[in-house]
Amino acid sequence: MKITNSQLEAVAVKPNQYPAGDLKEIAFAGRSNVGKSSLLNLLTGRKKLARVSGSPGKTRTINFYLINDAFRIVDLPGYGYAKVSKSVSESWGPMMEQYLGSRENLLKVVLLVDIRHAPSKQDVEMYEYLRHYGLDGVVVATKADKISRNQMQKQIRTIRQTLGLGGDDIVIPVSALKRTGHEDLLDLMEALLEG
Ligand code: GTP
Ligand code: MG
């Protein structure tokens, strides 16, 4: 699949702000600063579609992007960033739960983890949560440019073990910096959307 058309369709903190549930959605979840917004920009080939920042906590709303006029990619707010205000961190849970727990056109949630580290306790909790809703099975290991090819296989094994992935579950290493891995993810997304 190639993405030829992408646009921000809606920014939401509550369900009545979501776009109509007419198109299939694939969402990106993961801790703050892991590279969710960068991945969206990589996939769409647009450097400034989603705002990227070196300081964590950039995306604090649920952002719906219309892709090829055919489906949506949903950029979710990150977790695990201590410095956001109390009101922001308290609203994160309900905001995510409302979306993940009741969005019927949500096909899959791609969990992003940093390839350099074992998944955190919060990553494991997030994945368990996705499993509970049947939204699990695809993990993207971000920032693959930061480690050597040798280290890559070892880190992917650690990610698989820590999240308790099975043989059918997929881990795709991606680098937004070097622009690698996105074609594999796009092919997988295409298969999910068709399936
Ligand atoms: P929140 O919106 O806070 O949840 O963060 P996010 O997950 O959207 O992360 P974002 O895409 O804003 O990226 C965070 C930082 O990581 C930025 O400084 C990016 O440039 C950097 N980054 C993202 N992906 C990569 C990558 O593949 N390689 C490298 N080296 N840096 C990356
Ligand atoms: Mg972001």
CA dihedral 121, 126, 132, 137 (to 10 degrees): -100
% pLDDT > 70, the chain? 98
What's the mean per-residue pLDDT of the chain? 94
Residue 137 placed within a domain: yes
Closest-CA residue, ligand 1 atom 3, reads 57
**Residue 128 included in any domain:** yes
Residue 54 CA to ligand 1 center (angstroms) comes to: 7
With respect to residue 58, please indicate whether it lies within any of the assigned structural domains: yes
83 band by pLDDT with thresholds 50, 70 and 90: low
Give the pLDDT confidence of 42-54 residue by residue, as tens digits. Answer: 999 999 999 998 8
User: Could you tell me if the CB of 96 is within 6 A of ligand 1?
Assistant: no
What is the distance between the alpha carbons of residues 154 and 72, in angstroms, rounded to a whole number? 33
Average pLDDT, integer, range 25-43: 96
Q: Which atom of ligand 1 is nearest to the CA of 146?
A: 30
Average of per-residue pLDDT across 136-151: 97
Q: State pLDDT tens for residues 95-125.
A: 999 999 999 999 999 999 999 999 999 999 9
> Across the chain, where does the E strand assignment appear?
6-12, 25-30, 62-67, 71-75, 106-114, 138-142, 170-173
Residue 173 has pLDDT above 90, yes or no: yes
The answer to whether residue 195 sits within a structural domain is no
* 78 Cα nearest atom in ligand 1: 4
32 Cβ closer than 6 Å to some ligand 1 atom = yes
Better pLDDT: 79 or 65:
65
How many structural domains are present in the chain? 1
What is the domain range of residue 151? 6-190
Give residue 31's pLDDT: 95
